[in-house]
Amino acid sequence: MNPAKTEVGSRRPPIGGSVAFLLLNLPVGIAGFVFLVTTLSVGVSTAIIWVGVPVLALAVLATRGAARLERARIYALLDNYIALPYRSLPEGDQKQRWKARLKDSATWKDMTYFLLLFPIGVAQFCIVLTTWATALGLAALPFYYRYLPEGAYYFPSWEVRWFTVDSVPSSLPWAALGVLLLGVSAVLSRGLASAHARFATLLLGPAPRQLREDSFPGTPAMTSVAG
């Protein structure tokens, strides 16, 4: 059994890495989605006059390269190892190598990952930003309520004043709630990051049947392999 095949796995991601990773998913997802939609639409629409062929080739190579960077980002921030799933390219001319790339299911799984990363990244960004901002805002309320307009904090809004925080004692229950929400935010962020790591392993990693094949090289995720 190739040792590289048995190294694929995941650990509990760190909280800081989880928050950073989930927030970065939005800009990474937007960039990947815009690039793929643009290059694929232009390439397919102009392929009949051969102009789209190099555009489509660029989309394939760039996506496979971006997938390598994504595996490295997951490894660095989430401590989750994902082996490269690509099958070795055959020796020979570029035509045979391109056929191998296009027949490799990993190529299309890479594209699927980046297309899905955009909506997933939007949801993750909103959840993480909302929970952490709310928790930090409440936890720090005893320190800044006096600097708010009228020197007080009103819940749920300035117009609807069900509760008023205008002193340290009145702010302490809210601060305690904020500390509780900080713990909830940490658990939630780590859970979202772990779920994303499993999702990424499914699309960016080798299929289980590949790991069972003796011919599969099990290339480590951090090595350089020709795309």
Residue 81, H or E segment: strand 80-81
Query: Which token pair is 103?
Result: 């027949």
Question: Around Cβ 152, how many Cβ atoms within 10 Å?
Answer: 16
Measured distance CA(164)–CA(207) in Å, rounded = 56
Residue 94 has pLDDT above 80, yes or no: yes
**pLDDT band per the 50, 70, 90 thresholds, residue 221:** very low
- If you search the block for the tokens 């799984």, which residue do you land on? 109
Stronger pLDDT, 113 or 170, i.e. the higher one? 113
pTM, whole model, 2 decimals?
0.85
Our measurement of the distance from residue 54's CA atom to the centroid of its chain's CA atoms, rounded to an integer in Å, reads 28
* pLDDT score for 212: 61
Backbone angles phi, psi at 163, to 5 degrees: -130, 140
Write the burial class of residue 97 (CB in 10 Å: 0-12 exposed, 13-18 middle, 19+ buried).
middle
Asked if pLDDT for residue 6 goes beyond 50, the answer is no
Please say whether the beta carbons of 8 and 74 come within 8 A.
no
For residue 18, give the nearest of 201, 195, 203 by alpha carbon: 195
Structure confidence at residue 185 (pLDDT): 97
Summarised one tens digit per residue, pLDDT across range 113-123 is 999 999 999 99
When mean pLDDT is compared across 50-64, 70-84, 148-162, 163-177, the lowest value belongs to 148-162
The model's pLDDT over 13-64, given as tens digits with 9 standing for 90+, comes to 999 999 999 999 999 999 999 999 999 999 999 988 888 899 999 999 999 9
Which letter, b or e, does each residue of 53-77 get, where b requires 16 or more Cβ atoms within 10 Å of its Cβ?
Answer: eebbbebbebbbebbbebbebbeeb
- Residue 213 binned pLDDT confidence (cut-offs 50, 70, 90): low
Tokens of 132: 């952490």
Residue recorded with tokens 């099990």: 218
